[in-house]
Amino acid sequence: MKFKITTAKSAGFCFGVDRAVKLVYQALDEGRRVATLGPIVHNDSVVSDLNARGARIIDDPAQLEAGETLIIRAHGVPRSVYEQVNASGNPVIDATCPFVARIHKIVAEQTAQGRQVFIAGDPLHPEVQGIIGHCNENYTVFRDKSELMCLIDRTLPERLAIVAQTTYNSILWEDCIGLLPSDHPDLKVFDTICNATATRQSDADALSRESDLMIVAGGRHSSNTVKLFDVCSRNCPTWHIAEAAELRDCAAQIRQTAADACAKHGSDHVLRIGITAGASTPAQIIKEVQTYMSEIIDTTTTTPDNEEFSFEAELEKSFTRKIRKGDRVTGTVASISGNNEVMVDVGAKQTGYITLSELTSDTSKKPSDIVKVGDELELIVIQVNDAEGTVQLSKRRVDELVGFENILKAYEAKEVLEGTVQSVVKGGLVADSNGVHVFIPASQSGLGRGADLNVLLKQPVRFVIIDVNEQRRRAVGSIRQVQKEERDAAKAKFWETAKVGDVYTGEVKSLTSYGAFVDLGGIDGMVHVSELSWSRIHQPSDVVAVGDTLEVYIKALNPETGRISLGHRREEDNPWVKFTTEYQVGDIVDATIVSVTSFGAFARITDNIDGLIHISQLANERVTNVKDVVNVGDTVTVKITAIDNEKKRISLSIREAGDDAADAETETDEVVYSDEAPADAE
Ligand code: F3S
């Protein structure tokens, strides 16, 4: 039977506990006499192993023997403990989890600034006791919402900061924060919850979904191990064991489950076995579980995919590994602390961390946007602090190195890069492209002279590199050049394909007294003022504005001069065509006098179509002054007496309209007195 054993990424000790245990082993290996302030971890086998190697457990620094090294466990301790040990002269190894140490720093700063600190957590828990000891007496602990409500009902301090125990329930924390008044004048909230437990559960959930069976290792009464068992058993058959040897008791059941899975999936099926472990389960037990499981499933088959793991070997490796400033190292993200830091395991005795500014140069991002727990990162060591046991690392600088190599390649290949404008600086913009800052001078921004560069802030931009300084790792980019090249390409394509009559929808880019320039997609054409409207207009701005969208068609093209003449008016909208379609000579219509001259009056028949009523046609009698008969605004009944299509002129006559009416009346009278009068006329 082929099988693959996979251990969940975050199984067993959390980052902080793992580090603390390693530090105790390291101190013992260095030949020190060691005492831990309380058990270093809640696991009997680890504690007894350390004890067998000489590590004592004490309750109070006063119990230290001369020369004995005190190891402070991951929970941390009050400031007074450091003072007490310093006074005794005993050496100290501080294994306080960096996440807890961060809380100590926060509460010390906040109380020094005059703020009262509210701590969400269990007041009796050693971690909370440690936090209290850094608060300068200015603190209040609350366990849950009801205790917080009591504090709110009393008057809240005017200056307030709030933190949480690292293992505080995150849902409860959100609820508590929601209770705080939003209009508090000076309230600082620090989310200091560590996500190690939640991550361990989600890793176990993911692994058990793709496994045929799961083994959960950890104490029977360990609540976080029981929770892991619950999570996994929902997805596949799962066994909870405290020690690896317990697997022997359930070997038959496990083999049967394995056989069932293989029967279900076929003979080629590779049995998938998942392992996870509670927070206080050491790597040694996980290793033993792996070994036992290999033996139980099949002792004769090779296990090519089985992950080998040796706690001792890993420990040995990590302690012999020396890290120096400037080293390029590979690290695994151990946890993400709020919005500020990422803790990284670099396989050394020190704790690795990356501040947000060293994680990315993109100020709009937070750590969880960039990395997740378990990610492997290429990093540069920027500072080693042996006293604090920390290593400051930078991902950004590695990204910049790699990014700059890409910039050089793009420069040589004249490749277009994409980036986001990070800031507006004196003389231009700074854009980020794959972790490298590229300066774009204002003249290369693609905006007009004197334009506000802030319109590009946080915007994605495309640019080419026009200059690089390899030594100083500086690059200069140009958006303008990309735009010009794109315009040139669009122009070339236009001249290749465009023909008279083609229709475009384009934006009006500019206006002159004689026409409007319209963007046809990288190339501009001009609509003459006479082409903009069938009405008489004085200038283009009477009917269009810059930014308007206009439908145009190509009237004429000249590739040599590059001139493109566009039309906008449509024949079907031509008022003269409409008029001649609807009216003919002889029609009697109502018209409105629009102007009066010495030789007659102009009357409007339809929109924009006027005809002339000559003075001789105004009335049957002789007229010497036009205004004696009609004035502007009068409505008159006229007869269309002539339509000149060539000159687009219309002649009208009031006189003839009157004659026609009289004739019609005469005809009506004749009918009335005809022989065919109705019978009742008598
Ligand atoms: Fe562990 Fe430190 Fe979180 S001790 S649970 S990694 S706060």
Secondary structure in 3-state letters for 269-327:
CCEEEEEEECCCCCHHHHHHHHHHHHHHHCCCCCCCCCCCCCHHHHHHHHHHCCCCCCC
Cα distances from 633 to residues 3, 492, 610, 630, 658, in angstroms, run 100, 55, 13, 9, 20
Q: Taking all residues of the chain, what is their mean pLDDT, rounded to a whole number?
A: 86
342-385 per-position pLDDT tens digit: 888 887 767 788 888 888 877 778 888 888 888 889 999 988 87
Residue ranges of domains in the chain, CATH in brackets: 98-193 (3.40.1010.20), 196-312 (3.40.1010.20), 321-394 (2.40.50.140), 399-483 (2.40.50.140), 498-569 (2.40.50.140), 585-668 (2.40.50.140)
| 318 Cα–ligand 1 center, Å | 20
User: For 570-595, how does the pLDDT look when each residue is reduced to its tens digit (9 = 90+)?
Assistant: 877 888 888 998 999 999 999 999 99
pLDDT at 662 over 70: no
Answer yes or no: is the C-beta of 247 below 6 A from any ligand 1 atom.
Answer: no
> How many whole angstroms from 215 Cα to the centroid of ligand 1?
23
Question: Does residue 14 have its Cβ closer than 6 Å to ligand 1?
Answer: yes
* Ligand 1 proximity of 194 Cβ (cutoff 6 Å): yes
The sheet carrying 56-58 orders its strands as 56-58, 34-37, 69-72, 92-94
Question: What does the pLDDT average to over 214-243?
Answer: 87
Say how many Å lie between the CA of residue 16 and the centre of ligand 1. 5
Ligand 1, atom 6: closest residue by C-alpha: 16
46-90 pLDDT, tens per residue?
Answer: 888 899 999 999 999 999 999 999 999 999 999 999 999 999 999
* Bridge partners (DSSP) listed for residue 549: 507
The CA 13 to ligand 1 mean position distance, Å, reads 9
Would strands 116-120 and 160-164 be described as parallel, antiparallel, or unpaired?
parallel
Does the Cβ of 21 fall within 6 Å of ligand 1?
no
Residue range 200-229: average pLDDT? Answer: 87
**8 Å CB contact between 85 and 69:** no
Kindly give, in sequence order, each residue whose CB lies less than 8 Å from that of residue 108, ignoring residues fewer than 6 positions away.
79, 134, 135, 136
pLDDT digits (tens, 9 = 90+) for 506-562: 999 999 999 999 998 878 999 999 889 887 788 999 999 999 999 999 999 988 888
For the Cβ of 40 lying below 6 angstroms from any atom of ligand 1, the answer is: no
Q: Is the CB of 16 under 6 A from ligand 1?
A: yes
Probe ligand 1: pick from 163, 335, 336, 345, max atoms within 8 Å of CB? 335
Locate the ligand 1 atom nearest the alpha carbon of residue 166 and give its number. Answer: 7
17 within ligand 1 shell (Cβ under 6 A): yes
Separation between Cα atoms, residue 217 and residue 291, nearest integer Å: 13
Share of the chain above pLDDT 70, in %: 91
Backbone angles phi, psi at 208, to 5 degrees: -70, -25
pLDDT reported for residue 664: 61
175 C-alpha vs ligand 1 centroid, how far in Å? Answer: 22
* Per-residue pLDDT at 678 exceeds 80: no
384 C-alpha to center of ligand 1: Å? 22
Residues with a known catalytic role: 127
Residue 471 above 90 pLDDT?
Answer: no
Distance CA 635, CA 633 (A): 6
Band of residue 665 on the pLDDT scale cut at 50, 70, 90: low
Dist CA 613 CA 633 (whole Å): 14
Nearest CA to ligand 1 atom 4: 16
pLDDT of residue 510: 93
User: Rounded to 10 degrees, what is the CA torsion of 162, 339, 276, 14?
Assistant: -60
Instruction: State the average pLDDT over residues 471-494.
Output: 89
pLDDT at 672 over 70: no
Task: Ligand 1 pocket test: pick from 18, 73, 97 the residue with the most ligand atoms within 8 Å of its Cβ.
Answer: 97
Q: What pLDDT does residue 361 have? A: 75
Q: Give 342-345's long-range contacts (Cβ < 8 A, gap of 24+).
A: 342/367, 342/371, 343/15, 343/98, 343/99, 344/377, 344/379, 344/393, 345/15
Whether the CB of 534 sits within 6 Å of ligand 1:
no
The confidence score (pLDDT) of residue 675 equals 37
Assessment of whether the complete model's pTM goes beyond 0.75: no
